[in-house]
């Protein structure tokens, strides 16, 4: 972060464009920044207020434009993606709310999936971005995970230890987005007490 701040001192101009900061570089004593391209937002002309001196510009969602959460959202694969790096065999799942879950072993993994197909190998930079956007920055193990379907209902639940138990998978499209294997659903007799929905 210190390097980024020092580098920012050498900038001659910055323009907030589409929620991202674009900058022109040059010596601090250089002439004013060139006019922004047409796609850039002119804060003064739009009637929006400029950020107060010493504060970071705000981007979509009210977060500072240089916040790790925004950088992560731009680079981490979508919810439902299973990812790993080439240097580590551990498989992660980008879950609801961009929480990064991991499978500690093949037993946990094969409780939800029937094969390793669909796992994307990502760069360490992308993996770091996923960790940065996750709830606690490190990921949560899908310990004891399982898919169940109570008799007499079409509802399917996933066990998520960190959210306090069973979570209802809200639709078939959500089930498909995560690539869960229908063959892994276990029939049960009663409806479990459920935590927040899995969406």
pLDDT in tens, 40-78: 222 233 333 333 333 333 333 333 334 454 444 448 999
> What is the reported pLDDT for 27?
38
> What is the reported pLDDT for 90?
93
> What is the reported pLDDT for 166?
93
CB 47 within 8 A of CB 96: no
Checking phi first, is residue 111 left (phi over 0); if not, alpha (psi -120 to 50) or beta? alpha
Give CA–CA dist 51/59, Å, rounded.
11
Q: What stretches in the chain show pLDDT beneath 70?
A: 1-74, 135-137
Burial class (CB in 10 A: 0-12, 13-18, 19+), 93: buried
3-class state of residue 142 by DSSP? coil
* Buried-state track 53-87, b at ≥16 Cβ within 10 A, e below 16: eeeeeebeeeeebbbbebbbbebbeebbbbbbbee
> What is the reported pLDDT for 168?
94
For 153, residues 6+ apart whose C-beta sits below 8 A from its C-beta are: 191
Contacts 24+ apart (CB under 8 A), 187-190: 187/148, 187/149, 187/150, 187/151, 188/148, 188/149, 188/150, 188/151, 189/150, 189/151, 190/150
Selection from 18, 20, 16 nearest residue 50 by Cα: 16
> What is the reported pLDDT for 186?
96
Number of Cβ within 10 Å of residue 109's Cβ equals: 19
> What is the reported pLDDT for 190?
85
pTM of the model: 0.61
């Amino acid at each position: 972060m210190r390097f980024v701040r020092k580098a920012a001192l050498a900038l001659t101009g910055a323009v907030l464009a589409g929620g991202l900061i674009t900058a022109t570089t040059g010596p601090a004593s250089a002439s004013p920044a060139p006019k922004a391209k047409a796609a850039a937002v002119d804060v003064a002309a739009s009637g929006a207020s400029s950020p107060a001196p010493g504060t970071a510009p705000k981007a979509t969602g009210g977060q500072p434009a240089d916040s790790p959460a925004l950088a992560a959202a731009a680079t981490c694969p979508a919810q439902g993606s299973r990812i790993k790096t080439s240097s580590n065999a551990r498989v992660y799942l980008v879950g609801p709310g961009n929480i990064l879950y991991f499978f500690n072993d093949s037993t946990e993994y094969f409780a939800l999936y029937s094969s390793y197909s669909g796992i994307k190998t990502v760069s360490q930079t992308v993996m770091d971005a996923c960790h940065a956007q996750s709830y606690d920055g490190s990921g949560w193990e899908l310990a004891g995970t399982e898919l169940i379907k109570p008799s007499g209902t079409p509802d399917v639940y996933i066990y998520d230890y960190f959210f306090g138990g069973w979570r209802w998978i809200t639709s078939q499209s959500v089930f498909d987005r995560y690539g869960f294997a229908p063959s892994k659903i276990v029939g049960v007799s009663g409806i479990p007490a459920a935590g927040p929905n899995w969406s």
